[in-house]
Each structure stands twice: as structure tokens, then as C-alpha cells.
Structure 1
Amino acid sequence: MTDALLQTHWDVIVIGTGIGGGTAGRALAEAGLKTLFLEKGPAGYRAERTALSHEVFLPEARLTRGFWPGQIVARQNGTESRFFGPLGAGVGGSSVFYAATLERPEPHDLDDSPEKPHPTGGWPVSFDAFAPYIERAERLYHISGDPHAPGQDHLAPARPLSPADQRIAERLRRNGHAPYALHSAIRHVDGCLGCLGKCPLPCKMDGRSAGVEPALATGNAALLDHCDVTRLRTRDAQITQIEARHHGRPVTLTARHVLLAGGAFGSPRLCLASTSEAHPKGLANSSGLVGRNLMFHLNELFALWPGTSDPAPSKAIGLRDLYHLNGQRLGMVQAMGVSASYGEIAYYLRTLIDRSALRHIPLAGELSRIPAAAAAKLLGSAKIFVGLLEDMPYAENRVLPPDPGSDDIAFTYTLHPELAARRRAFRRAISRAFRGQRRMFLNHAPDLNHGHPTGTMRFGTDPATSVLTPWGRAHDHPNLWVADAGFMPTSMGVNPSLTIAAQALRTADAIKDSLT
């Protein structure tokens, strides 16, 4: 079977199986196109339940569990740190570990007008043009939750709020705010716990359950797991060959079109590694912007005590009142779906240590157990919330070319003064919004959300200032496409997953049109 897959000339080969690759691949397979998914990690077993862990260090062990095997090497404001990021490498990518919160952006995220110019020039697609694809993605992922804008009548009803969430929401309303039930990609299935991590039940909709599995069921798609793509070959600007290692064995594959969906880290790394005499700067890189304009969200974590003994973590409340406040681009606030237990606190402290100078101290990570136990006792029944602060693109913030044979992901990032100023304003706004409720910020220093990288292969109309066309095709290559978070010219103030899925559907439509 594997040899037959390797010898087939496909209509489309999709590299990566997360939200973008899974969504686009399903749309292509359902349109009758011969589609092959390539995934670096394993397919895994549908019955397994696995949470993303920071405690697994061996690359082979990490890959077996569906975690990205290498470390993140971050040079932030001139200081280098190494740590394991919240990234997946298996069917479904990182999405199989996420909390399944899929929120649509606000119109001001995409629209740019002379009256309200976007600080980075805006998107090449208006919100009204993008909205039908957002709705298609919401239906595809079975989104439930409270409508907070016109045109969301198709959402499934939200689950009832827990007593603790009801109390938090009522206090927010008394402060003049409008909390709502978060938009969740979790179908109501008997026995569903809405858990983080891989789940054996078909309730959580992710790149695997909403993308790859339905695509394979059509009979038009196939999957090669344990397939590490190392290089793309070109002739006359066309992508002609995909070089990879399948279970360690060199293989070559061909397709009429190639769709990159390895994420805002993975896709630019592959393009930068695919240098040649014709493309000395890598593929799709005539603008020199591949890997640049790297953005994250800044996490503003805080604990909230609802004043009840409800032990369940808060996972249902969202607040958009601070999203675009007094002309400032801030972001939304949402429950994280985790409780302030010893395990979560120890994980967080260990992550902070790995990103700091303390990582050089022997057993520093083990010493985090003592303050974690003390913090768990102090926080008790607290619920954990996060504010997602919008980041802006700067060309010097970028993913670096990969070292040959290494799975480490290296990037350099400078936190600009305007971001630091907006962060201070965001924290003040959060404190005002939640006044009257016992609360405590959990991070003092800026905390980049390494699970939300975006912007490294931005789309636009001008080949000199963008990598992709508005439909996701590389300006430089007529049969190379991208459907992951790299396309985004701004990070917006929400989780990027739903926006990635919507753009993946747009890109799939464009590929179908080009083939028919």
C-alpha cells in the first residue's frame, strides 16, 4: 500500500494535518480530488487519551505521543532560552491537544478604511468577503456558544454555565460588561468531558476529527504518517518534487499542487531549507519575507476566586468588551478550562524556569515542586483565565532557517515599546472589568503564547510586501499554496484556529478552481 502511495501522481499533496491542512484536505477530497496527507508524526490510535506534557524529554518518546520532538530555541530581547513548546506532531497536529475554543475575529481585525486605518495596513480580504467562509468553518466544526454578533444564528446552543461560572458572569454584568458562553468545537456526545489533549471520543472537533478522518472516509484521500518532508524541488517556478523521509527511508513524491500546512513555524522552515541556484533565498521568498513578521499573543494569566466550592475548572466564559478599547487594539478574555491544581501550576513554573537563566541551575526544575505545592494550597478553588493581547508584525521578528537534521525551532523576537504599553493598558482594563471579584495576576513578565505563532508567510496583493496571494497561493510559484497561521498579516485579538480553518476553505476553493 505504501509503495502505491509513493508512486501515485496526486492532484494535491497536503503537508501537515492540523486545523489548516485537515480542513483544506477534507474540502479537496470531498470535491473528488486525489489528495495525500503527509504527517511528520504518527497516526496514533483512536482509543488513546494523551495530554500535552512538558515532562517528556526524549525526542523519540515525544514523537510517539504526538508531541513535536525538538525544542524551541527562542532569542527574546537578546536572551536565549530553550524549552519544549506546546506543539503537536501527529495526525491533527497541535489541534488534538487544544481546548477547542474557536472564536471568530471582529470586523475591525480585517477591515481597513481611511477613517480607521489599520496600523499594519490591514488584510487584503474584507470581513464581509471572509464571513461566509467563517460560517462554513463554524458549521464544519460544530461550533456551539452564545451569539455575540449578527449572523451567528447557526451556532449550536451553549452548555449551561456551572454555578461558579454563573457567579463570575453575574458580577461582570454588574460591572457593565457582556460575558457570553465561549464558542466551542465540542459536539454533545455521551460521556464527553471536554478534555484537553487527545480524546478517544469523537466529540472534540479538530484537524483529525473534522478534517483528516472525514477526508479519508471519502475514498479520495490517503495518509502517510512518519513522513518528514525535508525539501521541495522546482523547475521553471513549478514545484515538481517533494523529498521526504518515510520511517527514515528517503522517498520522493509528486503532485499537481502542493499545499503547505505545517504551521507558522513549519512551513517557512521548509521553504527556507529548499534553497537552489534558482532560489538562493528559499522558495516563495523573492520578497525576503518568508519567516518574518512573526507574531504571537501575549498571555495575561490571572486567577479568579468565584466564592463557591465548585471544583470544576471554568471553561465557558468569554469577554470581548476589552477587545478594541478606546481606540487601542487589546484582545479578548476567556476562561482557560484548567483549574489551579498542583499539576497545572508545576507545569507552568517548570515552563518559566526553562525559559529563564535558572535553567542552568542543576535540578532547578525539580525545585519548582515546592512553590507549586504552596501555590496550589493558596489558590485553592481559583479558576484560571487568560487575556489574549494582540501582537503586531515586525520584520525583524522571525523564524530562522533550520539546521540540517535538527527538529529544533529557532526564532528571534523583540518586544516593542508599543506592545509593552498596550500590555499595561490591558492589565488595567482586566482589573477594572473584574473588580469586586478576588483575583490575582499569575505572570509578571511578558508571556508569549508559543502555541499561537502567526504571520510568517503573510498574504497580500503586492508580491514585494507579501508571500502569498489573497487566496493563499505563493506569488512566486503557481502550484504552491499555504493554509496555516503563517498567512495572517495580523494576529488579531482571538485564538487563530477558526480563522485558519476559514482561510483553508478559501484556499481549497481556489485550488479546485485551478484544477477544473
Structure 2
Amino acid sequence: MSTPTRGPEHVDALVIGSGFGGSVVAYRLAEAGLRTIVLERGRAYPPGSFPRSPREVGHALWDPSAGLHGMFQMWRFGHFDSLTSSGLGGGSLIYANVLLRKDEKWFVQDDPLPSGGYETWPVTRADLDEHYDRVEQMLAATPYPLRDPAYAQTAKTNQMIAAAEKLGLDWELPPLAVSFAPSKGEEPGLGLPIPLPEYGNIHGSLYGSARRTCRLLGECDLGCNEGAKNSLDHTYLSAAVSHGADVRTLSEATTIRAAEHGGYLVEYVQHEPDQPGRTLDLPRCSIHCDHLVLAAGTYGTSWLLLRNRHHLRGLGTALGTRFSGNGDLLTFLLPTLDGRRLELDAAHGPVITVAVRMPDRLDTEGAGRGYYIEDGGYPGFVDWMMEDTDVVGRIFRLGEFLARWAAERLTRQPSSHVGREISRLVGSGSLSGGALPLLGMGRDTPDGTFLLDKSGLLQATWRTDTSYDYFAAVRRTMRCFADTLGTRYFDNPIWFFRRVISVHPLGGAPMSRTKEEGVCDPHGQVWDHPGLWIADGAAMPGPVGANPSLTIAAWADRLATRLLEHRPAETRRTQPATPSRPAQRAEPLPKPHGKPTRLTFTEEMKGFFAFDEADPLTGERLGRAAQRRLMFHLTITVSDVFRFLAEPSHTALAQGWLDAPSLGGRLPVSQGWFNLFTQGETPTTRHLSYLLHTVSGNGEPVALTGRKEVHHGSGVEVWPDTSTLFFRLLHGQLPPDTPEGDTPIIGAGVLHILKPDFVRELVTLRVSGPDARRAACDFGRFFLGNLWEVYGHHLS
């Protein structure tokens, strides 16, 4: 095992994962003033960056050992397959936006399982309802506006409703995390601009302002390039960053252990995009935290706990149990045998618009285990997936591939990492077919288990056998829809092998009433491990039944409430997350308000650089001669002005883009920091520092580190000092407050603020929130006071 490359930094809370559990907790903790870091192993995906062509989708898979650092991770276990997401926002990037609450009667108590044991939920619907409300408000949940003229002509929606009514089934237009109108109370419309919220956008104002209302492209499951989906990056994570959370992408946790004097030590690696290599072989960084929140998804959290259980004594025998796939079943409605075209237009609309609920035996009118059936969809542009002819033949060719694949693995341990194989299959355009998907989910049997094989990979044992009656009922209802709509019913080819594909894996570290029954208590804290929390689907002790995203988010919100109520009084964000010099300002902070006072401004700097040069001035001279230009456009956000002024690092967030034709054109800043007037080497020296992370046009990570030198001298030097940035471009990404050391250098140069751009910068300065007038005055005094400290002695 490699040793950490640097000593651990310390924070109040470390959140592993940015999905429905992690993003909610990160926002709540940062809002409350805790120093919070979020580690996300995947990339950031602003609007317009999601894959679309067959080649792009074929490379958008997660398998670092094959150099794939994309959004989709394919898992293949002994008796089922699974698909999960890897990226900033977790599963919200590729889910179908449905926000349904778990049915009240489906919070079962001691419900016997066919394979033995019981399913028990130690929380109730009443425990979660207030948290459901909060999440729905944050994600702007709204039903599909079928009555609005702009959205009324969605054929699959109208036909599904008609079929459900003809069959006498209960249906609804479920709440969706999609913007159909620019804001609440406004009229819906296709492709209307969505205003930037008060808390801004984690991708920068440029991408945040590029969001548009739903245009019915059916792209929800591949990532919404319009930005109409209210995914977690646009909502919870953007709000968390505005409150000071530090979100780190391409950062994957590998080792967790209890620290000797309290809290937890976590080691993580930084992935190099498109560079093949085993995750566990990469150099490691380390963090110490008072609270560790595991939210890496059902598979990720279970893997972390199983891999590190020797560091976390007493986790108990329930670890790795109660797995279920939430009853997921995918089937298809096909054109009739006479070749008539399917008249449901699955490519027009959001992926899911209608949910049909089939009652459970726990309901007065039900029998067996309950489930939902929902319409599916696909993007209209992917002609390589949807063709007019030979639909059944193409689906069977896919089935033949899967059968051959299964046969090859009958004699050895199946691999849970199949990105390479799927990448080749999709990249060659072999995945084709035309159909309207029907999606089923519900109360299957949570009797699966997790373990690690000899190579340390996660394996799962779960079969459809003990849930066979459930799946038979779902398939019967789907056949009824096919008959009613005049289409043909077609099972997913892998059902021939009694396999299913789950996109909603749950369990592995279930909540419980006692430590003998589960891994964490009814609020998410791991039994006998204070400060260790489980905030994602791994904590579910059984299937949610409905789409589980909303329930996971509500559970995480409840967990955050508990954590904040019981945290030690001294756990406050009173120091920056990274080491710094003593504070220069001793004035006490104002009394806290409901929300902090924000300050923002936009800055543009332009200049020249040269490759393979470490000296900025030489780089500028050579770059000017070669006309090798670079500029940046940044929005600087101070999320809490008074705290910014009190902390010695004076750290603000920098969001926006770089533009360098020789590096690939316009490059979004995935993470950025700006430090104003930090103490220099002498009492009359100050620094204005920049650290920007981006990815070049060929997929390589790049860090821009820059500094404006404000030093003692003539007063006429104020303008050139504060408008000149000396910078270097480095390979890889550099954590804040970390020396450059031996980091490989790409190049160096100098940027300048032109006077017209400076005037525009002043015009963009905004202060909002409580005590805005006082905040503006204090910020002005701080800025001018530092200039006086540097230049005033000479003027005197």
C-alpha cells in the first residue's frame, strides 16, 4: 500500500460522494457553518458537455484501469447487471427526474422474507414527510404540464393514461425535477432561459445562465445538455459551494479509519482523465475529519465499509446484507408484426411522464408485493439506436452478445467492471433497436449480500428466484398495456437467463432498530462509531418501491438535522479548511443571520504564454512573439463577506472559463479559488492569488496558478501591481494551499486587466443579503486599507 503524499488537512465534515445523499448533507452542513469537503470521483458535466454520438457514449464509461473516466459505470454480478453514475451530481445526472414519496404502508415492520428473516424499516413516512417537503422545494418538483399547449402533444403520455384508465388502474403525473417554466408561477414554454438562482451555479455563471426549459428531447438518461433538469449540481451542490463547501472532482476515497484521538482519517486519490491505471495504485492524499459522511452510492459505500472493516472494529454481521434492486424490470413495446410504426413517439418528452401504481398486499385492495409501471423514452437524435426495420433481430443480436458473454464467465468469478466490453460494443454502433421501454419497480425481496473477492472487487449474491412472483406480476401488467395499446410485448433478452438490470441498487449497510439488526441507527449514524454516517441508498433496509431518489434525499436531510443537533459546540467553521497565517482582523463577526451576505464580481484578464517555460516574464515575451494567447473570464463569489474578511486566507470561489486556442479553445473551470491580500513575505507585501482547475482539449487536467504581487514602492505602482497576474500552467490538479513542488510545468506567462475591462469589472460588483451596506463598506475599507499598508508609507 502506498503512503500518503502529504500530511492530512482537517475539516469538520468530509462527504464522500455527490449524489442524492451527499449533496443534501453537504449543503445542510455548509449552510450551518461547518467546514465541509465533498469528494466526487467523477468529472463535472456542465450543460452542453454530455455525450451524444455513439463514439462519445462508448467512451463515457467508468473503468479507470482502461483509461475510461466517464459518467456510466456498468456492473455485472453473478445473477444481475447494474448501471450507476459517476460524476458531479451522482445519479441525478442520468436518472429520469421522478420524485415520488415512499408509500406510507410500505414502511414495513417485521415483514417476513421468502428466504428467511424480516424486512423492517425503523423510520416511518411521518418521520420523513417534512424532509420530503424540503427536498421537493429545493429541486422544484412539478408534474409534467400536460394541459399546457407547449407540452400537450406528448403521445406516449396520453396513450399511457388512456390505457391505464381502460384497465381501471391508478395513475398520476409524478413530480419531476425538471424546469418546464423559467421560474415558479411563470408560464411553461419550450427552451426558455432559466434565470441564475441567488446562490449561483457551480459550473460558473456562463454555464448557469445557459440553462433552458425542457424541449422534450428525451435526453434525461444521457444527461441534459439543455440544463432543464434540476440536477444536484445545479441545486444542492451550487448552494453548498455558495456557503463555502469545497467540492473536489476526480477525487476517489479508498481508505477510511478511526483516528486515535477522535474523528476519521480518509485517504483519497486524484484520477488522471483518460490515463489508464488501477485506482489503488495512484498516489494518495489524506484528510482528517470530525464527521465522515459516506454517500458513494450503494456499491461505493458498501465497498468502502467492507474494504476497511478491519480499520472500523465492530461494524457487525449485518454489513453487506439486505441488498435489493428496488424491483427494477425493463421490457419493451414493439411495432406490430405487420410492420406498422409504433404510434407512441418515445423520443418526444421527458423520459418518464406517467406512473401507474399497482397496490401491495399491505393495501386493502392489493395482493402480493406492490409496484409501479412507468413509460420510458430515448433521445430522438440517436438513429444508431432506433431504426425502422429488423427491431427484433437487433434486440436478439444484443441478447446473443449477452448470452455469449454469460457463457464465457460460467467457469470463473464474474467481473463487476465491464466498461471495456461495453465501450467496444457501443463504440462500434452494435447496440441498436427500436422500442418504447416500459419501466417497472417495486417491492422485490431484499435478500442479497455483498462481499469482496480475492482481488478486492465488490461481488453481490442476489437472484430473481425469491422475487419470481413479484416479477411475474409486473410482466403480466405490462402485457396488459401492450394488449390495450395494440402493440407487441417483448421481454428484455436477458430475462431469458432470469437476469435483470438494476438502476436503483439499495442496501448493504442497512439502518436498523438495534446494532444486531443493521449497520446504522434510524438517523444514519453507524452503531458504536460516533461521527460516521451513511447517507445514501446503502442505508435502505429494503426496496423503496417507488423511484428511490427522493426518499434517499429526504433521509439524508433528516440525517443532517440529527448531525447538526448533536455536533459538539466547538464544531464551527472558525478556521479555514487549510493552514494559514494568523488572522489580521480581530473585529468580532456580526450576529448570524438566516443567510450570509454575498459579494460577487466578474473579472477578465488577457495575455500571452509559452510552452515549456517556468518564468512568467520570459513566457510572456516568447508567447507574444508567437501570438500564443490566453485569457480567463471569472465570476468571483464571496459567499459570506464578514467571514471572508475575518479569515486570514480571504478565500473566495472562482467560476468561469479559460480560453487558449493552443490548449483546445474555451475550457470550463471545474474548480477555482481566489485569495485576496494574503500576507506576503514582508509586512508591506500582499498577494492576490488564483488557482484554477480545468481540462485541456485532449482531456488532460490542467491547473493555472497565478499571483499578483502588491509590494512596497511608489504609489504609481498600484495600477500595474493590481492588474498584472504572473501565472504558470501545471500538469494535473493542485489542492489549495499546496506548494507546486515538482509538479510538471506546461508553460508560463502574464495576464493583464485592460482599463476598459476594469471599468466593466467595477460595474459587475454586487453585494446582497443582510447588512449589505455594512458589508460593502467593510470590504471597501479592507481593500483600500491593504493598499495603504503597502503604498501609504511611501506617500506619507
Q: State the match for 2:102 in structure 1.
A: 105
Match runs of 1:375-394 below 5 Å: 376=434, 383-394=436-447
User: Contact 1:161 / 1:316 at 8 angstroms: preserved in 2?
Assistant: no
Q: CA deviation at 1:414?
A: 2.6
**Aligned equivalent of 2:459:** 410
Q: Distance in 1 between matches of 2:144 and 2:256?
A: 44
Alpha-carbon displacement from aligned partner over 1:225-253 (angstroms, at most 9, x marks no partner): 22221111214695431112234332110
Q: How does 1:298-313 map to 2 (within 5 A)?
A: 298-303=328-333, 308=343, 310=345, 312-313=347-348
- Asked if structure 2 preserves the Cα contact closer than 8 Å seen for 1:350 and 1:368, the reply is no
Gaps of 5+ in 1: 148-155, 377-381
Task: Say which SS state the counterpart of residue 481 (structure 1) adopts.
Answer: strand
Q: Is the 8 A contact 1:54 1:347 kept in 2?
A: no
> Alpha carbons of 1:367 and 1:249: their partners in 2 closer, same or farther (altered >3 Å)?
closer
Identity of aligned residues (%): 22
Aligned to 1:510: 562
Could you tell me how far 1:432 is from its partner in structure 2?
3.7
Q: Could you say if the C-alpha distance between residues 14 and 413 of structure 1 is closer, same or farther in structure 2, counting changes exceeding 3 Å?
A: same
| Other-structure match for 1:272 | 306
Q: Indicate conservation of the 8 Å contact 2:309/2:315, yes or no.
A: no
TM-score under structure 1 length normalisation: 0.81
Residue aligning to 1:482: 534
Corresponding residue to 2:478 among 412, 430, 443:
430
Cα RMSD of the aligned pairs, angstroms, is: 3.8
Distance 1:125 1:275, change over 3 A: closer
Residue aligning to 1:291: 320
**C-alpha displacement of 1:347:** 9.8
SS of match in other structure, 2:77: strand
**What are the Cα deviations for residues 437-492 of structure 1, in whole angstroms up to 9, with x where unaligned?**
22313324344333211011110111001100000000020010011101111113
How far apart are 1:143 and its partner, in Å?
1.0
Once the two structures are overlaid, the 10-residue window that deviates more, 249-258 or 343-352, is 343-352
Structure 1: distance between partners of 2:520 and 2:28: 20
Instruction: Identify if the C-alpha distance between structure 1 residues 355 and 497 changes in structure 2 by more than 3 Å, giving closer, same or farther.
Output: farther
TM superposition shift of 1:25? 0.8
Which residue matches 2:580? none
Determine the C-alpha separation between the residues in 2 that align with 1:371 and 1:232: 41
Q: Give the 3 Å change call, closer, same or farther, for CA 372–513 of structure 1 in structure 2.
A: closer
Whole-Å separation in 2 of the counterparts to 1:35 and 1:424: 46
Which residue of the partner structure matches residue 11 of structure 1? 12
Q: Distance in 1 between matches of 2:460 and 2:371?
A: 24
- The CA deviation at 1:261 is 0.2
For residues 119 and 275 of structure 1, the distance between their equivalents in structure 2, rounded to whole angstroms, comes to 24
Q: Distance in 1 between matches of 2:297 and 2:42?
A: 14
1:120 aligns with 2:124: no
Between Structure 1 and Structure 2, whose CA radius of gyration is higher?
2
Equivalences for residues 213-292 of structure 1 within 5 A: 213-218=238-243, 220-235=244-259, 238-247=262-271, 248-276=282-310, 285-286=315-316, 288-292=317-321
**SS, match of residue 118 in structure 2:** coil
Q: Could you tell me which residue of structure 1 aligns to residue 85 of structure 2?
A: 88
Of the two structures, which has the highest relative contact order with CA contacts closer than 8 Å and spacing of 6 or more? 1
Aligned-partner residue type, residue 63 of structure 2:
P
Deviations 1:158-186 (A, max 9, x none): 95461442233123213222322132111
Query: Who is 1:338 aligned against?
Result: 378
Distance 1:87 1:371, change over 3 A: closer
CA–CA distance in structure 2, aligned partners of residues 367 and 508 of structure 1: 40
User: Would you say the 8 A contact 1:37–1:221 is kept in 2?
Assistant: yes
* Aligned-residue offset at 1:48: 1.0
1:74 corresponds to which residue? 77
Q: Which amino acid aligns with 2:70?
A: R
AA at the equivalent of 2:72: F
Quote how far apart the aligned CAs of 1:507 are: 0.8
Q: In the TM superposition, what is the alpha-carbon distance from 1:211 to its structure 2 partner?
A: 2.1
Alpha-carbon spacing, 1:126–1:41, altered in 2? closer, same or farther (3 Å): same
Instruction: Provide TM-score, normalisation by structure 2.
Output: 0.54
Q: Is the 8 A contact 1:182 1:334 kept in 2?
A: no
Q: What one-letter code is carried by the residue in structure 1 that aligns with 2:451? A: L
Within the candidate set 425, 446, 451, 1:400 is matched to 451
Structure 2 residue aligned with 1:185, among 146, 152, 177? 177
Answer yes or no: is the 8 Å Cα contact 2:62–2:69 preserved in 1: no
* Alignment check: 8 A CA contact 2:31 2:240 kept: yes
Distance (whole Å) between structure 2 residues aligned to residue 492 and residue 349 of structure 1: 32
Using the TM superposition, give the Cα deviation of residue 310 of structure 1 relative to its aligned residue in structure 2, in angstroms. 4.4
Distance 2:401 2:263 in 1: 39
Q: For the Cα contact (< 8 Å) 2:61–2:72, is it kept in 1?
A: no
Measure the CA separation in 1 of the matches of 2:256 and 2:366. 47
After superposition, give the CA deviation of every residue in 1:273-304 in whole Å (9 maximum; x if it has no partner). Answer: 1143xx5xx55622x12122211023041316
Corresponding residue of 1:34: 35
Which of the two has greater strand per residue?
2
In the alignment, is residue 172 of structure 1 matched against residue 164 of structure 2? yes
Q: Which residue of 2 aligns with 1:59?
A: 63
Aligned equivalents of 2:425, 2:510: Cα separation in 1? 41
Q: Offset at 1:103?
A: 1.6
Amino acid at match of 2:443: E
What's the secondary structure of 2:164's corresponding residue? Answer: helix
Q: Is the contact between residue 359 and residue 371 of structure 2 (CA under 8 Å) also seen in structure 1? A: yes
More off after superposition, 52-61 vs 127-136: 52-61
2 CA distance for matches of 1:371 and 1:47? Answer: 25
Q: CA–CA distance in 2 between the matches of 1:366 and 1:90?
A: 22
